[in-house]
Structure 1
Amino acid sequence: RKQINELDHRLVQLLNERARVVIEIGKLKNKTGKPIYSPEREKQVFARIAEANQGPLPDRCLVAIWRELMSGSFALERPLRIGYLGPGGSFSHTAAMLKFGQSVEYESLADIISIFDEVSKGHCDLGLAPIENTTGGGVIETLDALIDSDVKICAEVLMAIHHSLLANCPLDQIEKIYSKPEIFAQCRNWLSATFKEAQTIPVASSAKAAQTAADEPKAAAIGSSVAAELYGLRVVCENIEDNTNNITRFLVISREDAKPTGEDKTAILFSTAHKA
């Protein structure tokens, strides 16, 4: 334990030494107008960490540590504001935190077009918008916004979507279940096998479902564990989705073009006249 304590103390010193360098870099970026978030730099850092790692910690553990460290670095250079499809506790919120960590500022927005507008106007530095899901397909609102907006795609986030039943009562007392229609569809088999009489009530988002269920007795919501934590609900059942390979891809949008990383994707969007 003494040796671990000494190592922890040394780690804190080194992290703060790194942070002081980050502050100086931030001053230079602000003078030259360079963006704080750089996807190509992020990729380089993670690649170097994995290359330097000789174990026993797995690469994903160190990458998770460095991701949060970079989140803190953003805050030191200049606080980043990230727009996402709200309210708080939505899957978009979870994906944003997965990408940018706990140390940046998050802005909950009412709809997808608002994410694009806030980034375009400079009110948000970056935005996170869902583009496609393995079960539900493409997100039309995001595709339309990409055509109509002048923002750029600078990165992406792939997140496995796991649904949980959230409530503050036992399973056999649940009479109402709130969630998005798409989520009900993704959990159809589990719901029909588990509930015979409970009423399913569609709402605008899984986070709104959690808010509503928290205020009503004998009510539940289907949503994320983040929503359960935010709105004071218990996770009654985890991973209730019918398709365990349910992945949503999110786009990170910015006013700035991202530099090439060597492993890039190209998106081509176009519209045609509505006539035969």
Structure 2
Amino acid sequence: MAKKKKTTRTASPKREIDSVDREILKLLERRAELASESHQVAEDAAAKAVTRHRGPLASEAVSAVFREIVAACRTLTGSERIAYLGPEHTFSHIAAIEHFGAAADLVPVATIAAVFEEVQQGTAAFGIVPMENSTDGRVSDTLECFAKASVSICGELPLVIHHCLLGSGARAEVRRVESKPQALSQCRNWLARHLPGAECHPVASTAEAAQTAANDPTVAAIASAQAAAQYGLSVLVPNIEDNKDNVTRFAVIGREMAAKTGNDKTALMLEISHEPGALADAMAVFKRNRLNMTWIESFPVAGSRGRYLFFIEFVGHATEARAKKAIAALEKKAQQLVVLGSYAHREPIG
């Protein structure tokens, strides 16, 4: 007679999950202790986790979990205040959350210049500011601040911007559409086709527009879906941006450039002499050193007719040999040159 096989009694899935959760909590507490003792929060933890994970979770989910772990540990050091262009529930706020995590000490300020001031004066460890948009181009206020402030770009965050038409009444009731000028501009063709009779009224922020729409059913706001949830509005029409690849690139600013990752970019600001061939000679430096430029903007120097600053970004880290050689060559040709910073390249989010 064959022997009966012994069946191994295993814990129920619920008990196993409880056990794993307890282990995760212990590890989180240990990580927080280490961060607190060393005053280091491993800013690149989310990126490292994404490259290492092999499980069923999406990379975005893994990144989000580790981003919040880093943000929570950052609060233990007591010096990680992050300034952003407020108010809350704007796209700048969303970008700050995407980069630093919702648990971070995020502080809204009234202007882009105020973000730079907070970082330069040391009252904020980092700031996040819009730098360019794929529809409207450069953000002039940000470039003007780079020309004046002593800060470094230490990160970038390209955020896909989805504008929604929000309201507290029916779409047929809308007589005025409010938003910040850039949002109105990025939706101008949609508005002309679908709400030709509505007045377009610029305001200071998408959040201000949402607040107004919450109190007046004849006013619609162009803002994010997150703003709709915050202010109790309905999404009358989602994704009304004219350019479906509408990306705003945010710069993370701090007092030091980021460490080399192997997938970096470097930004420079330079002024060259106003004479024939000077710009072409400067650009030839990048070709000779086999450096690929990814961005170039000219910006007039305030109060000086005929003088321009050039903002240039290229692939590579400022500490690499080819980049150092190119920067040294540019310094000989430039009237002024500032390395604004090196930072890891990031793909658009959203």
Moved more, 165-174 or 63-72: 165-174
Please tell me whether residue 14 in structure 1 is matched to residue 45 in structure 2.
Answer: no
Letter in 2 for 1:171: R
Letter in 2 for 1:22: A
Deviation by residue 1:202-248 (Cα, 9 ceiling, x = unmatched): 11221221122222232210011232233332222211111110111
CA contact (8 A) 1:190 1:240 kept: yes
The separation in 1 between residues aligned to 2:32 and 2:98, in whole angstroms, is 21
Moved more, 54-63 or 88-97: 54-63
Letter in 2 for 1:11: I
The separation in 1 between residues aligned to 2:114 and 2:148, in whole angstroms, is 12
Q: Cα gap change, 1:192/1:149 in structure 2, threshold over 3 Å: closer, same or farther?
A: same
- Residue pairs, 1:167-178, within 5 angstroms: 167-178=167-178
Deviation of the 1:135 alpha carbon: 0.5
Q: Which residue among 287, 299, 305 is the counterpart of 1:274?
A: 305
Secondary structure of 1:158 counterpart: strand
- Residue pairs, 1:190-269, within 5 angstroms: 190-269=190-269
Q: Give me the TM-score of the superposition, normalised by structure 1.
A: 0.88
The separation in 1 between residues aligned to 2:268 and 2:31, in whole angstroms, is 40
CA contact (8 A) 1:120 1:151 kept: yes
Q: Cα gap change, 1:275/1:196 in structure 2, threshold over 3 Å: closer, same or farther?
A: closer
- Residue pairs, 1:178-197, within 5 angstroms: 178-197=178-197
Please tell me whether residue 42 in structure 1 is matched to residue 43 in structure 2.
Answer: yes
The separation in 2 between residues aligned to 1:202 and 1:52, in whole angstroms, is 46
The separation in 1 between residues aligned to 2:213 and 2:60, in whole angstroms, is 35
C-alpha RMSD of the superposition: 2.0
CA contact (8 A) 2:113 2:145 kept: yes
The separation in 1 between residues aligned to 2:127 and 2:249, in whole angstroms, is 14
Deviation of the 1:190 alpha carbon: 2.2
Deviation of the 1:90 alpha carbon: 1.5
Secondary structure of 1:42 counterpart: coil
The separation in 2 between residues aligned to 1:170 and 1:108, in whole angstroms, is 32
Q: Which protein is bigger by CA-based radius of gyration?
A: 2
Query: Stretches of 4+ moved more than 6 A in 1?
Result: none
Secondary structure of 1:230 counterpart: helix
CA contact (8 A) 1:79 1:104 kept: no
- Residue pairs, 1:52-131, within 5 angstroms: 52-131=52-131
Deviation of the 1:263 alpha carbon: 2.1
CA contact (8 A) 1:213 1:221 kept: yes
CA contact (8 A) 2:170 2:217 kept: no
CA contact (8 A) 1:126 1:253 kept: yes
Deviation of the 1:124 alpha carbon: 1.4
Gaps of 5+ in 1: 30-35
Deviation of the 1:154 alpha carbon: 0.9
Name the structure with the higher strand share.
2
Q: Cα gap change, 1:109/1:190 in structure 2, threshold over 3 Å: closer, same or farther?
A: same
The separation in 2 between residues aligned to 1:164 and 1:239, in whole angstroms, is 5
CA contact (8 A) 1:147 1:270 kept: no
Secondary structure of 1:129 counterpart: strand
Gaps of 5+ in 2: 1-13, 272-300, 308-350
Letter in 2 for 1:265: K
Secondary structure of 1:274 counterpart: coil
Q: Whose RCO is larger (CA < 8 A, sep 6+)?
A: 1
Deviation by residue 1:68-98 (Cα, 9 ceiling, x = unmatched): 1111110122252111111222111110111
Please tell me whether residue 2 in structure 1 is matched to residue 33 in structure 2.
Answer: no
Letter in 2 for 1:42: E
The separation in 1 between residues aligned to 2:132 and 2:124, in whole angstroms, is 22
CA contact (8 A) 1:85 1:129 kept: yes
CA contact (8 A) 1:79 1:105 kept: no
Identity %: 40
Letter in 2 for 1:231: Y
Deviation by residue 1:40-91 (Cα, 9 ceiling, x = unmatched): x433x33532343222112222111101111111012225211111122211
Letter in 1 for 2:240: I
